[in-house]
Amino acid sequence: MELISSGTVEVIPEGEMRRKVARSLETGRPLVVKLGVDPTRPDLHIGHSVPLTKLRHFQQLGHQVVLIIGDFTALIGDPSMQDATRPVLTEEEVEKNARTYIEQAERVIDTKCARVVRNSQWLSPLDFKDVLEIASRFTVARILERDDFSRRYREGKPVGLHEFLYPVMQAYDSVVIEADIEIGGTDQKFNLLAGRNLQRSMGKEPQCIIILPLLEGTNGVRKMSKSLENDVGLTDPAGEMFGKLMSIPDDIIWDYFRLVTRVGSAAIEQLKGRVENGEVNPRDAKERLAVEVVGIYHGPKEAEEAADEFRRVFSMGELPGRIPPVEVPRSRFRAAGIWVVDLVVSLGLASSNGEARRLIAGGGIAIEGEKVEDADLELTPEQVDGKVVRKGKKTFVRVELV
């Protein structure tokens, strides 16, 4: 129970959870532990690793974990904490994202020992009569208890009828796989409770639920999100991952330790106490955090190399020892040269011209150590070939014309 409850916000209901665990120990029957994920994006960050790590805890305890890829529910998109209806994804986009999600989830859990299933297997065959029968077990009043629905309704913002069906479908997933436990973030509490209620309504033993905190982004302001550019990607290179972690505010170091490392709670509290007593500098604690996280995804050796590189670059002002080359076709050059915004996008440092302009306006792009101040600048091949372009403080690339 100590491992199960570590890092959680709530275990609901805790007494029932203890009884399930005790029964499992007595009978030798593993608990079925469910995590549902909608593949709405192709790239995951360490915020996604929080529930995956809890799944890993259950694997360590010998239970059966089930990772449900919501390829059907992703077509609607979870409305939790949304101010507007999500855009509808195509089946092709969902399938591509699903494959990527499973590959990245393997960095945290043992997918060979887990059940990995898609909820389209049981949701797609349902006919309209089936949907009506399941939906009849919910009331509009109960659905409107969700803060996001009721807020949008009060503010006159559209709420699609199909969005009401999202928690119904997620709840039905729990019925089908006969989940004993479901894991989710604080934004998922309504949906998780819906699963518990539907199981009871359909004559099943209701699941217990584990509520986990949402990991704050690297700026410490809002939850981690790639769209907010405050994320640490699971597939980020070791050096970039290390640098991002070193940029987090001191007051969220311990949340990161608890949620995204494998350091035990006693060791975390000991280190925290030493920082608070002035024995250890917060920067050193942050470096330990970065080494731990990078070590999970890239191995201990690369983590130590990233730490050495960070000290050399950011403490001593040197360039990284390894700067990845990025090929840029010479065909992108016009008679006057290449537009610096086009160059930034071509190097993969921005996803759009608008983002590149914002980076330049904020002083976030430098070529050979000189900040680019004019977003209308044209550069000749000689001015960029072989040159180092820096984004922010942590990302360096070397231009290679081809």
Specify the fold of 2-212. Rossmann fold (3.40.50)
pLDDT, one tens digit per residue, over 252-272 is: 999 999 899 988 888 999 999
For residues 93-120, average pLDDT: 87
Task: Inform me whether the pLDDT recorded for 41 exceeds 80.
Answer: no
Are the C-beta atoms of residues 67 and 80 closer than 8 Å to each other? no
What's the predicted TM-score (pTM) here? 0.72
> Which architecture characterizes domain 325-401 according to CATH?
Roll (3.10)
Q: Find the mean pLDDT for residues 116-138.
A: 93
What pLDDT, on the 0 to 100 scale, is given for residue 221? 78
Identify the residue whose tokens are 């349902």. Answer: 126
CA separation for the pair 358, 243 (Å, rounded)? 21
CA triplet 35, 36, 37: central angle to 5 degrees?
Answer: 120
Contact 388, 397 (CB under 8 A): yes
The CATH class given to the 238-316 domain equals mainly alpha
Q: Where are the alpha helices (DSSP H) in 74-146?
A: 91-105, 120-123, 128-135, 140-143
The least confident of 64-73, 228-237, 310-319 is: 310-319
Amino acid, res. 343 = L
What DSSP state is assigned to residue 250?
A: G
Distance CA 128, CA 91 (A): 21
175 vs 351, which has greater pLDDT?
A: 175
- Residue 339 dihedral angles phi and psi, to the nearest 5°: -70, 130
Going from N- to C-terminal start, the domains of the chain cover 2-212, 238-316, 325-401
pLDDT for res 132: 94
- Band (pLDDT 50/70/90 cuts) for residue 123 is very high
| CA gap 291, 337 in Å, rounded | 42
In this model, does residue 250 exceed pLDDT 60? yes
Residue 82 confidence (pLDDT) above 60: no
Q: What is the pLDDT at residue 320?
A: 63
Rounded Cα distance, 235 and 180, in Å: 32
Provide the mean pLDDT of the chain.
Answer: 87
Q: Is the pLDDT of residue 84 over 50?
A: no
More confident residue, 78 or 54: 54
**Residue 83 — very low, low, confident or very high, per pLDDT cuts 50/70/90?**
very low
User: Is a pLDDT exceeding 50 seen at residue 193?
Assistant: yes
Nearest one of 151, 137, 147, 124 to 196, comparing CA atoms: 137
**Least reliable range by pLDDT among 44-58, 98-112, 136-150:** 136-150
Give residue 392's region: left, alpha or beta (phi > 0; psi -120 to 50): left
**pLDDT confidence bin for 397, thresholds 50/70/90:** confident
Q: HSE-up of 326 (CA within 13 Å, CB side)?
A: 18
Omega into 13 within 30° of 0, i.e. cis? yes
Provide the 8-state DSSP code for 64.
E
Q: Rounded to an integer, what distance in angstroms lies between the CA atom of residue 189 and that of residue 99?
A: 27
Q: Which of 179-183, 223-227, 377-381 has the highest mean predicted lDDT (pLDDT)?
A: 179-183
Give the span between the Cα atoms of 357 and 343, in whole angstroms.
11
